Structure 1
Amino acid sequence: MRFVHARHWGRVLAGCALLVATGLGGASSASATTPGKGTDGYCQDDNGVTVIVDFQGLGGETLIRCAPGKQENGVTALQNAGFELSGAGKYGLAVMCKIEGKPADQTCTGMPPEKASWSFWTATNGGKWASAQVGAQSWKPPAGAFEGWSFAIGKSYTEYPPPRTEPVRKAAAPAQAPASTSDSSFPWGLVIGLGIVVVIGLVGAFVMTRRDLDEKSPFLRRKRGGK
């Protein structure tokens, strides 16, 4: 019978523990917005500005967030909604280069190219998107307004598309009833994972003990020595 060396069992146990920890923890999901600012979804009343960011051809889902309260201008609304921004070179945030790190291939050292740029849109609740006639830093959003940012690829300024989400305030989804405490509060995943590690440890200990006993047995020593 071939036995596994103790050092090998240590590696096996360490690997199992790592797998259990990884399985219990799950994959971490990076936040798409700046923590601590804004709320997800539409503003529920006129006390705030709803900001919609449509990445269009860049890929990724359209983001909708609320910048609560009165907003000084379009840029502060974008910031207070929780979006990460990068301005274009010496122009700063007066010319938007990136929102949430997109487009990733732009250096932001100067003006973005016309055919790969963010366009700025405004609307009232229930109205239609209109291309902003002033820069985002000069726009004074009224209470309850909508602000839209849409990325254009391969289009001239006059062809820039508005956000594909209509500027219509929608009610928040009703809160789901809390799950039964008997099902959700007890950490079954942790218990099962630890149980797996314990079982593997016991098996390893049994094998090592069996090995020691066999090596100490005079009968096996004689058998292995051919006597």
Structure 2
Amino acid sequence: MITLPSRIAAVCLLLLAGCFAGASPASATGSDGTCPAGGGVTVVVDFGDLGPQPLVRCAPGTPASGIAALQGAGIDVAGSQKYGLAVACRIDGKPGPDVESCAGMPSATAYWSYWHATAGGTWESSQEGAQTSKPKADGFEGWAFARPKTANDLPAPPRVAPVRQAAPPASDVSDASVSSFPWGVVIAVVVILLIGGAAVVVSSRRRRRRDQ
């Protein structure tokens, strides 16, 4: 026979499991802003006249290639149907199919140009494809959507300088760490345990009264 305390304990365990299941850890893939020194490779995506503001995200660790840096930064990249990711056709869903079908090589007057830089340096056009290039440790990877008037015009580099952002003040870091602590989960666990304990006490008293 399943006693009342056993039922209460089972309910408390289910609620406790639900609390921890809802407190999923932060993703380890990519973060907004530039990487801290020694923290990975910073990826800059300048959409040009496509509309959105430039993306600046950090790919942690040591990405194996330019494509891996994009993916590690949490930025979606799609290749062409014919060449796969050897050709970056769409980054973060842009350009749309009205500009590029992604069937083969992009148009010579509408494509993603690929760049490298050291922190605090200047952008340099990559001489190697993003699927085989090796990003420099602590470096910057840049992408800029180019619309040259002719196929002979050189593309412009990303309009975001490859400069590492300053670290936030110590007080801000402390506040952020405090706010990220799962206080809601802790409070919920304490409440569940108190309710469960009180129910067990009440049940025990009832059982003693019946035995007297």
Q: Could you say which TM-score interval applies, normalised by the shorter chain? A: 0.5 to 0.7
Q: Is the CA contact (8 Å cut-off) linking 2:41 and 2:61 kept in structure 1?
A: yes
What is the SS of the residue equivalent to 2:44?
strand
The alpha carbon displacement at 1:36 in A equals 5.5
User: For residue 128 of structure 2, what is the aligned residue in structure 1?
Assistant: 134
- Aligned pair count? 146
Q: Is the CA contact (8 Å cut-off) linking 2:148 and 2:155 kept in structure 1?
A: no
User: For residue 58 of structure 1, what is the aligned residue in structure 2?
Assistant: 50
Structure 1's unaligned 5+ residue stretches are 1-34, 179-227
Q: Deviations over 1:78-129 (max 9, x none)?
A: 1100011110122111111000110112221111101000000001111110
Of residues 135, 148, 166, the one that matches 2:161 is 166
> Following the alignment from structure 2 to structure 1, what is the Cα–Cα distance between the partners of residues 160 and 44?
8
Of residues 78, 89, 103, the one that matches 2:70 is 78
Which amino acid in structure 1 is aligned with residue 110 of structure 2? A
> Following the alignment from structure 1 to structure 2, what is the Cα–Cα distance between the partners of residues 75 and 136?
5
Percent identity reads 52
What is the SS of the residue equivalent to 1:103?
coil
Which amino acid in structure 1 is aligned with residue 107 of structure 2? P
Which amino acid in structure 2 is aligned with residue 143 of structure 1? A
Give the TM-score taking structure 1 as reference length: 0.60
User: For residue 120 of structure 1, what is the aligned residue in structure 2?
Assistant: 114
The alpha carbon displacement at 1:137 in A equals 1.4
What is the SS of the residue equivalent to 2:127?
coil
Once the two structures are overlaid, the 10-residue window that deviates more, 144-153 or 155-164, is: 155-164
Is 1:99 aligned to 2:91, yes or no? yes
Which amino acid in structure 1 is aligned with residue 108 of structure 2? E
Q: Is the CA contact (8 Å cut-off) linking 1:46 and 1:145 kept in structure 2?
A: no
Which amino acid in structure 1 is aligned with residue 92 of structure 2? E
Structure 2's unaligned 5+ residue stretches are 1-26, 177-212
The alpha carbon displacement at 1:172 in A equals 3.9
User: Do the aligned partners of residues 36 and 154 (structure 1) sit closer, same or farther apart at CA in structure 2, a change above 3 Å counting?
Assistant: same
> Following the alignment from structure 1 to structure 2, what is the Cα–Cα distance between the partners of residues 136 and 161?
17
Query: Quick check: which has more Rg, 1 or 2?
Result: 1
User: For residue 201 of structure 1, what is the aligned residue in structure 2?
Assistant: none
The alpha carbon displacement at 1:46 in A equals 2.4
User: For residue 82 of structure 2, what is the aligned residue in structure 1?
Assistant: 90
What is the SS of the residue equivalent to 1:78?
helix
What is the SS of the residue equivalent to 1:93?
strand
